[in-house]
């Protein structure tokens, strides 16, 4: 009969520990640490993650980040082109601080077009944390501090140009970030609940329940989404407030969006039911609730986070499309889709192509979320062999 030290393994561990602390920290790394190791090697996903994070920070502090009140009209600046930022003044002198010149508009009597002319007599330096239009942060805290702007209250800087009413487009896009990015989140949270419940029930119980829910999901998925949205959105009363419309749109989007999540949850639940460690837990006398919350839910949490991230951009696109068609959010709400409505007619696009900038924001946000989601999905199962 051999003793444990002969049959045993303590010696066998030593080679693995030769890598010193690194091996030990890997050995003691939790699932989230392992996921982070894997995710952080996905360079593009990390960059996109930072972009997404920035977008949500901006969305949280729009009033502060935007240089102007998005509704502040300035008829003199209608369709004004993006202001040029200068480092070198009209005399050819270099300045370390960027500055802009004031502009005045005048009608060109040959072409009858409005032209903007820089008034090079006074430089207006761009500064951080300037005082400007009054606002209430989150509708609560009165302030007039803005992230950047020009100190001189008379001069205005239009980094992305102005719209028909001479409103600063950049400020409007920044304000649009809040609705556009949050409607994605809110829609996903709603579909998350529907998806988890339906998918969980379907996968956990299996059998006839599973077959029936699967057919329902397939039915919902087979409906053409655009006409359905159009129909549902058109049914919204036109006298609803911005908030009411916002929530109604969220519900409409998530009524269709939950199916993908339900399928992810169902797939994971079905796979987990077959895992030996679930049976092992049962045979250890672990209660059903404990199995669900300590074994099953943590096992698919990471997959769900990845699926959620991939669902957000779908919601953003859907909102943009609806609002663009005038069936989603409406004035006075500001979202990227609403802003794009102004770019609907050819004439204004030809005259002021910067009106398409909100579209670029949609592209950036959607791409960033997609790459982030891909990275998360790849990292979601660090134990795959």
Residues that bind other proteins (CB under 8 A): 1-2, 4-13, 15-16, 18-19, 23, 26-31, 34, 41, 207-208, 211-212, 275-277, 279-287, 290, 295, 298-299, 382-383, 385
Beta strands per DSSP E along the chain: 86-88, 94-107, 114-137, 141-150
The SS3 call for residue 358 is helix
Q: How far is CA 51 from CA 32, 37, 176, 360, 366, in A?
A: 21, 20, 16, 14, 11
Q: How far is the CB of 188 from other proteins (least distance, A)?
A: 24
Contact by Cβ (8 Å): 290, 221? no
Q: How far is the CB of 212 from other proteins (least distance, A)?
A: 8
Find tokens 């409007």 and name the residue.
Answer: 172
Q: How far is the CB of 370 from other proteins (least distance, A)?
A: 23
Angle between helices 242-274 and 276-283 (to 10 degrees): 80
Q: How far is the CB of 238 from other proteins (least distance, A)?
A: 44
Which CB atom, from 207 or from 237, has the smaller least distance to other proteins? 207
Q: How far is the CB of 30 from other proteins (least distance, A)?
A: 7
Alpha-carbon span 160 to 153, nearest angstrom: 19
Q: How far is CA 225 from CA 127, 221, 232, 236, in A?
A: 46, 8, 10, 17
Which CB atom, from 97 or from 288, has the smaller least distance to other proteins? 288
Contact by Cβ (8 Å): 300, 269? yes
Q: How far is the CB of 189 from other proteins (least distance, A)?
A: 24
Which CB atom, from 193 or from 293, has the smaller least distance to other proteins? 293
Give backbone dihedrals phi and psi of 153, rounded to 5 degrees, phi first.
-65, -25
Q: How far is the CB of 378 from other proteins (least distance, A)?
A: 12
Alpha-carbon span 320 to 249, nearest angstrom: 11
The SS3 call for residue 341 is helix
Which CB atom, from 113 or from 274, has the smaller least distance to other proteins? 274
Which CB atom, from 118 or from 378, has the smaller least distance to other proteins? 378
Overall residue count recorded for the chain in this entry: 385
Q: How far is the CB of 216 from other proteins (least distance, A)?
A: 13
Angle between helices 43-60 and 31-40 (to 10 degrees): 100
Find tokens 């989603």 and name the residue.
Answer: 328
Which CB atom, from 42 or from 167, has the smaller least distance to other proteins? 42
Which CB atom, from 4 or from 222, has the smaller least distance to other proteins? 4
Q: How far is the CB of 14 from other proteins (least distance, A)?
A: 8
Alpha-carbon span 44 to 374, nearest angstrom: 10
Environment class of 29 (CB within 10 Å of its CB; exposed 0-12, middle 13-18, buried 19+): middle
Which CB atom, from 154 or from 276, has the smaller least distance to other proteins? 276
Which CB atom, from 239 or from 289, has the smaller least distance to other proteins? 289
């Amino acid at each position: 009969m051999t003793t444990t030290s002969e049959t045993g393994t303590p010696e066998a561990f030593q080679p693995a520990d030769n890598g010193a602390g690194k091996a030990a920290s890997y050995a003691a790394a939790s699932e989230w640490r392992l996921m982070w190791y894997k995710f952080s090697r996905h360079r593009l996903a990390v960059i996109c993650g930072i972009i997404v994070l920035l977008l949500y920070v901006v969305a949280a502090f729009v009033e502060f980040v935007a240089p102007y009140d998005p509704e502040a009209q300035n008829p003199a600046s209608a369709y004004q082109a993006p202001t040029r930022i200068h480092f070198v003044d009209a005399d050819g002198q270099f300045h370390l601080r960027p500055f802009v010149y004031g502009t005045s508009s005048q009608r060109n009597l040959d072409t009858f077009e409005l032209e903007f002319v820089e008034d090079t007599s006074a430089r207006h330096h761009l500064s951080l944390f300037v005082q400007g239009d009054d606002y209430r942060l989150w509708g609560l805290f009165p302030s007039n501090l803005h992230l950047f702007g020009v100190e001189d209250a008379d001069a205005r800087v239009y980094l992305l140009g102005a719209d028909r009413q001479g409103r600063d487009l950049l400020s409007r896009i920044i304000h649009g970030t809040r609705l556009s990015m949050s409607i994605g989140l809110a829609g996903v949270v709603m579909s998350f609940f529907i998806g988890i419940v339906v998918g969980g029930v379907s996968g956990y119980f299996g059998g006839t329940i599973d077959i029936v829910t699967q057919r329902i999901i397939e039915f919902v998925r087979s409906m053409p989404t655009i006409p359905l949205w159009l129909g549902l959105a058109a049914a919204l009363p036109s006298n609803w407030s911005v908030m009411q419309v916002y929530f109604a749109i969220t519900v409409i989007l998530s009524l269709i969006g939950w199916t993908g999540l339900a399928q992810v949850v169902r797939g994971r639940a079905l796979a987990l039911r077959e895992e030996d460690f679930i049976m092992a837990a049962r045979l250890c006398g672990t209660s059903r609730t404990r199995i669900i919350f300590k074994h099953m839910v943590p096992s698919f949490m990471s997959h769900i986070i990845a699926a959620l991230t991939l669902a957000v951009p779908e919601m953003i696109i859907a909102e943009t499309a609806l609002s663009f068609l005038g069936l989603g959010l409406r004035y006075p709400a500001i979202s990227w889709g609403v802003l794009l409505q102004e770019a609907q007619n050819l004439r204004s696009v030809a005259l002021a192509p910067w009106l398409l900038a909100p579209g670029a924001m949609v592209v950036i946000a959607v791409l960033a979320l997609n790459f982030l989601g891909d990275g998360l999905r790849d990292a979601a199962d660090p134990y795959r062999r």
